Amino acid sequence: MDPLIPKMNAEAGYEGDESDVAPLRISGYFCLILGALSCLGLIGQPLITISFLSVFLGFFALRKFSGPEPLGIKPAKLGICLAIGFGSCSFFMPWFKTMMLAQQAEKFALIYIDVVAMGETEFAMELQKDYVNRMDPTMSLEEHYQGAEQARENYEQFKGSGVNESIRKRGPGAEWVFDKPTRLYTRYKNQHAELVLMDPSGGSDTKISMTLDYIVDSKGQGQWHVSNVQSYRTKRLVAPNVL
């Protein structure tokens, strides 16, 4: 029996009458190449189109045939698997990232509330600073905030604010819950999160809103800090028109 010889004209749909000749489907090899290149979609989501093109060529290579199995069928199957795998990761990765950031923001917000509720004012003030401006861990926060006059004024002002006083009155045992889904948005290339929390036992007047900022430090690690905490308002305050 003669050895199987690939036929170059198989892609055009003509595979001849010789049953012992294996046709060559070059589209299967192109599918494999594009399937491997689909990993570029992890860098930029628009490149996910490479995955779609690979799958299209793969199914084209897997069309029906008669006689010996064409060369390129197995590469096409592998290429489709790679394209679907990388394409799925490229499509769902932003969603997973958003979900993880939201969970981190919610956890950080609850930690902040616990710190304020326990009366750890100095630590709460540090959580409102970005990683660059936070005090060195080896320094005494109490000495710092009770030392210089300006630091003492900031301390008293922070401690006596209405929202912090409301959190302390409810104590560390209050079960704060999220009243609305966490909203993530990007501004000036930085990630931010808006959260609305409430203590169910205190009624609707106990709602507070928090804004958190997410900054990547010099080591490549993300650092959250609280940029704003205030009583939640259903309506924005608008200054009256000046006639």
Question: What is this structure's pTM?
Answer: 0.67
Encode pLDDT of 205-240 as tens digits: 578 889 999 988 777 788 889 988 888 776 554 444
pLDDT reported for residue 57: 93
Mean pLDDT of 135-147: 75
Mean pLDDT of 44-59: 90
pLDDT reported for residue 243: 40
What is the SS3 string spanning 26-43? HHHHHHHHHHHHHHHHHC
Q: Please name which of 227, 220, 167 lies closest in space to residue 197, comparing C-alpha atoms.
A: 167
pLDDT reported for residue 19: 56
Of the CA atoms within 13 Å of residue 205, those in its CB half-sphere come to: 3
pLDDT reported for residue 132: 80
Mean pLDDT in the chain?
81
